[in-house]
Structure 1
Amino acid sequence: MLEPSLYGIHKTNRKGNDLWGKNQFNSTFPASLACYMRDKDIKAVYLKVNEQLQVVAEEISIDDLFNTTAPNEEITFSFESKYQPYQKFAFDDIKGIDLVIKHGEEWCRPLEVKLTVVPDQTTYNEIEANWGAELVIRPASTSYCALGIAESCENDLREIRDIFEPVCYGIQHWDSKLEISSIQGNLITVLDIFQRRFCQKQKPFLMQPIWKTKGKSPLLADNAFDIFVWSDFALCRTFIDRSTSPQTEVNRFMRSSARLAKVLYDLSSTGKAHLEKIYSALTYGLQSDKEFALSGKITRHYMNSPRRVHPILPPKILTELILNGGEKKLSPERRFDQTIYYSTESLFNEL
């Protein structure tokens, strides 16, 4: 009897039940969806930064997303794994990222994976054209993002130092809210200069599959699934664009901008950065478990594609993605409010 499996995932560090757990399925299913779109020659939506620092929507093949033309059965999907080529840019252990793509001994692509629903809690009651998805970003996401940018610009570190040094050299205490808040405008300016100069070197970083429901209900819409891909530069725009805050404050977005500037400046100066120290010290009184969150009212302006509202794939593809009874391996959480909503409708109709 064939084991439950997911389309396209043959070589992986997750086997059996590890494909289907709550936290695991949120990354294994997106990988399978990407493999399916790849074999059907369906491109993903690619969000990238242009020279005007605007995030624009184009298309990207899954070959380019995976950074390999090898067939799915030859690719290794390593979940929650370290992308070893980036380790040389850090003094400390860079730890893992959601998904690492390898072909044999070739390191192809590290990817953050964010499976999100459309509409989210902030947009479901608006007209359908305004629906959006919430995106929650971890500190590990932005640190890997910075490492990827460093790799892309490895041969340009002297020029990068020239961009950042006029502002960063004079900073005495990077962990000081007062000092950083007083120069936040200057930090944003140099980040903008950097992105304009090197936007041609951006690359895919975050894979955001979306699943669309009928309004707030859990029922899938007729157009149910798609994949958006954020470049590393595009993801950075989400916090750089929102970094301005009152003169004495440093909000979460400005914190992310300061961390990015510090990492890039250190890398351009010494070739390596103390990532753990930077992320633990530069908190500015904010909780450190979450980098920042973007509601659907924000992400919809970046995910400016008709496919945000009209995903390209129907619900029936689930039968091609989840194989050999894999759906029976899923164990969704039971919530009391959900049980009341779906199980007692007849009781309330009798009143």
Structure 2
Amino acid sequence: MACSIAENFGQNLNELIVASEISGETDWSDPKQVIPLFNDISITLNNLCRNETAIQKPFLIQPVWKTIGKSPRLAENCLDVFVWSDLAFVRFILSIADLSENCLKITRPTRTAIWLYKMLLDICQNGKLNHEQIIDTCSFNTKNDKAFSSSGQITNPFMKSTRLETPIILKSEIKKIILGGGQELLSPERRFDAILYNSPELFL
């Protein structure tokens, strides 16, 4: 995402990065030194989202599946996708990250905002970034196997649309998507996998 944004803004990226509190001595692994940077991080990411000349690019395809109410039965129109643009996802990260300088703990969403900011800052200052080093350095005592996870209740305000109220793919088409007995390889401990695994009639 950082590379996509940097390519989008080009030389103008430098004008959007706020780094008033950063020095060459900043220890990015120390929360006590990073939390005071939250205002710069927030302003920078908001600058990106509000820039009128920005051209958004597709960034993430999120699968959508719909059940009948809260039951484990798929609706007739049950599958679709939602495409996040790079800047829409930045806006989403901003909405779930706690960038208050009074925060007591750096959560996964907040850490993701820090990662993105540091990557963009490195691109501006050095013309390149080392994403693995940034992720390892800015782990803040939390596993970095994933950036963060988010429930549907949180993403729904961003994704809500008439199209997704009636997903485009019918449940009768699932057997044309999962082929060769692939449903037998799913992990039943995951809700959607469990629905497919326990619905053999879908594959008749």
TM-score range, shorter chain: 0.7 to 0.9
Compute the TM-score of the two structures, normalised by the length of structure 2: 0.79
Matched residue type, 1:316: S
Counterpart contact for 1:168–1:265, Cα < 8 Å:
no
Match of 1:331 among 184, 188, 195: 184
**SS class of match (1:201):** coil
Give % identity: 32
Which whole-Å CA distance do the structure 1 matches of 2:114 and 2:25 have between them?
A: 11
Cα 1:174–1:215 change in 2 (3 A) is: same
Q: Deviations over 1:13-36 (max 9, x none)?
A: xxxxxxxxxxxxxxxxxxxxxxxx
- Determine if the alignment matches structure 1 residue 181 to structure 2 residue 25: no
Cα 1:215–1:164 change in 2 (3 A) is: same
> 2:201 maps to which residue?
none
Counterpart contact for 2:21–2:36, Cα < 8 Å:
no
Which whole-Å CA distance do the structure 1 matches of 2:125 and 2:23 have between them?
A: 10
Q: Deviations over 1:252-280 (max 9, x none)?
A: 22211111111101101111012111000
> 2:140 maps to which residue?
284
Counterpart contact for 1:225–1:311, Cα < 8 Å:
yes
Which whole-Å CA distance do the structure 2 matches of 1:256 and 1:236 have between them?
A: 10
Which whole-Å CA distance do the structure 2 matches of 1:216 and 1:179 have between them?
A: 45
Higher helix proportion (structure 1 or 2):
2
Cα 1:164–1:270 change in 2 (3 A) is: same
Compute the TM-score of the two structures, normalised by the length of structure 1: 0.48
Gaps of 5+ in 2: 199-204
- Determine if the alignment matches structure 1 residue 207 to structure 2 residue 61: yes
Runs of 4+ in 1 over 4 A off after TM superposition: 333-336
> 2:120 maps to which residue?
264
Gaps of 5+ in 1: 1-144, 343-351
Cα 1:180–1:292 change in 2 (3 A) is: same
For residues 234-273 of structure 1, the aligned pairs below 5 Å read 234-244=88-98, 246-273=102-129
For residues 1-351 of structure 1, the aligned pairs below 5 Å read 145-160=1-16, 163-169=17-23, 172-197=26-51, 200-244=54-98, 246-318=102-174, 321-322=176-177, 326-333=179-186
Which whole-Å CA distance do the structure 1 matches of 2:69 and 2:185 have between them?
A: 20
Supply the RMSD in Å over aligned alpha carbons.
Answer: 2.6
Higher strand proportion (structure 1 or 2):
1
**SS class of match (2:79):** strand
Cα drift, residue 294 of structure 1: 0.8
Q: Deviations over 1:192-226 (max 9, x none)?
A: 12322266222101011212122344432022122
Higher relative contact order (CA 8 A, sep 6+): 1
Matched residue type, 1:295: S
Counterpart contact for 1:263–1:278, Cα < 8 Å:
yes
> 2:202 maps to which residue?
none
Counterpart contact for 1:175–1:284, Cα < 8 Å:
yes
Counterpart contact for 2:96–2:110, Cα < 8 Å:
yes
